[in-house]
Structure 1
Amino acid sequence: MKKLIFAGIFATAGVLGTASAQIQKGNWLVGSSLVTSNFGLNTGGGYNIGIQPKGAYFIEDNLAVGGYVDLGISKVTNGSPSEFRYAVGGLGRYYLSPGEKGVDNLLNHGRWFFEGNVGIGGRSVENGNSTTGLDFGVGPGYSYFITPNIGLEGLVKYQGQSGFGNEGLNSNISFNVGFSIYLPTSKGKQVVNDLKN
C-alpha cells in the first residue's frame, strides 16, 4: 500500500512538474508547425499551408537557440497564381516562468513563450512578384504539454521578408499550430533519478 501511495505522489509531482523539466539547460527541442493560417497585410494576402521544422538547444533554463526551415505553398482562390515560400535561419525562444511579468500558467501544464527568427528566405508568385533576402519574425506562443516530453503549440507571429526582387518587403501575421518534442539530456535524467530516490 505504501508503494502505491508513493507511486501516486510521484506521478502527481511528475505531471505538475512537466512544464519545468523539459525547458532546462542542456535539453533539446525538436518540432514543427504543421498548419499555418496567414492573414496577409499586403494586397492579395490569404491563406496558406506550410511546414516549419525547427530544432533548438537550451543554453540556459527557459532559453533555447537553434535553427528552422520554412517551406510553404498557397493560393488565394481557385484560378489564382500559386505562391511558393522558403526560408532557413536561426531562431531563439524564451519561456516565461509562472507568475513572471504577470503571466500565469494555463492549467499548470504548459508555458507561454516568445519566439524570434532571422534567416535567408524568399517568396515567389507564379507570373508575379518575388522577394529574396532577409527573413525575420517575432511573436508569442503557448506550449501545452500533453505528456512530459510532447507539447502542442500555438504561435501568433509577425513574419516578414525584405530584400531583392519585384517586391522589396512582404509581411504578414500568421497563426501556427504544431508540436514539439523535448529531449532530456543526462541532467534531465539525473533529476528524474533524484526524484525516485
Structure 2
Amino acid sequence: MKKLQGLTLALMTVLFFSTTAIAQTQKGNILIGSDITDLGLNFQKESTQFNFNLNPKAAWFISDGLAVGGYLNFGLATSNGAGSDVSYGIGALARYYPTDKNVQKLEFSKRARFFVEGNAGFGGTNPASGASTNGVELGVGPGISYFLTPNVALETLLKYNIIIGGGNSTTAQQLNLGVGFQIFLPGSRAKEIYREEKANMK
C-alpha cells in the first residue's frame, strides 16, 4: 500500500511540474525578477577590482507566452587608481516563450522553457577612459528558464546590446551572459500581495 502511495505521489509530482512551465507563462500572469552579469571581486596588491551588472525587470503576460513590461539596468566596475566605469539604462521589454510544439520538443526538461527577449529604451556607458556613449539602447537575445518551483525560475540569458547616440563615441556594443531568478505570479495572487502591502502601510 505504501509503495502504491509513493508511486502515486511521484506521478502526481511529475505531472504537476510537466504543466508548471506552461501554466506560468499564461495570459494574466506577472513576471518579476532580475538578471546579474559580470559579478566579481578581484583582490590583488594595489589593484583591487569589483564589478557587477544588475538588471531588474517586471512584465505582464498580455497573451499566452508573450509578456511586456519594463526594465532598469545599472552596472559598476571599479579598480584602484583607474577610476570607475558606470553603465545604466531604462526602458521597455518584451519576452516571448514559443508555444510551438516543435520548439517545446527541443527543451531538455518539462521544467524548462526557451524564450527570446528584446528591449528598447535609453541608456549609457561612462567608462573611466572617457569614451562615453549615451542614447537609444536596444537589445535582443535568447534565454532559458528552468523552474525550480512552480513560481520561481532560474534563468540564463545571452543578450546583444547596442547604444546609439552622443558622447565621445557614437556607439557602444556589448554581448552579455546573465544569470538570474524570475518569480512568476498569477495575476490574482499579485493583486492579493498588493492589497496586503497596502493594508500593512496604514
Greater mean deviation of Cα atoms: 122-131 or 144-153: 122-131
| Distance (whole Å) between structure 2 residues aligned to residue 67 and residue 55 of structure 1 | 6
Spell out the pairing of 1:50-69 with structure 2 (5 A cutoff): 50-69=53-72
1:73 equivalent in structure 2: 76
More helix per residue: 2
How far 1:12 moved relative to its partner?
2.6
Q: Secondary structure at the match of 2:27?
A: coil
Spell out the pairing of 1:1-197 with structure 2 (5 A cutoff): 4=5, 8-36=10-38, 48-75=51-78, 79-97=81-99, 99-101=101-103, 104-126=106-128, 128-186=130-188
TM-score (norm 2): 0.78
TM-score (norm 1): 0.80
How far 1:98 moved relative to its partner?
6.0
Cα RMSD after superposing both structures: 2.5
Q: Tell me if structure 1 keeps the 8 A contact 2:124–2:163.
A: yes
| Distance (whole Å) between structure 2 residues aligned to residue 48 and residue 62 of structure 1 | 33
How far 1:106 moved relative to its partner?
1.6
Q: Tell me if structure 1 keeps the 8 A contact 2:104–2:113.
A: no
In structure 2, do the counterparts of structure 1 residues 48 and 160 end up closer, same or farther at CA, with 3 Å as the change threshold?
Answer: farther
In structure 2, do the counterparts of structure 1 residues 11 and 102 end up closer, same or farther at CA, with 3 Å as the change threshold?
Answer: closer
How far 1:78 moved relative to its partner?
5.7
How far 1:103 moved relative to its partner?
5.9
Alignment coverage as a number of residue pairs: 177
| Distance (whole Å) between structure 2 residues aligned to residue 147 and residue 103 of structure 1 | 21
How far 1:130 moved relative to its partner?
1.2
In structure 2, do the counterparts of structure 1 residues 18 and 156 end up closer, same or farther at CA, with 3 Å as the change threshold?
Answer: same
| Distance (whole Å) between structure 1 residues aligned to residue 172 and residue 71 of structure 2 | 19
In structure 2, do the counterparts of structure 1 residues 8 and 103 end up closer, same or farther at CA, with 3 Å as the change threshold?
Answer: closer
Highest RCO, 1 vs 2 (Cα 8 Å, sep ≥ 6): 1
In structure 2, do the counterparts of structure 1 residues 124 and 155 end up closer, same or farther at CA, with 3 Å as the change threshold?
Answer: same
Greater mean deviation of Cα atoms: 134-143 or 177-186: 177-186
Q: Which runs of 5+ in 1 are unaligned?
A: 38-46, 188-197
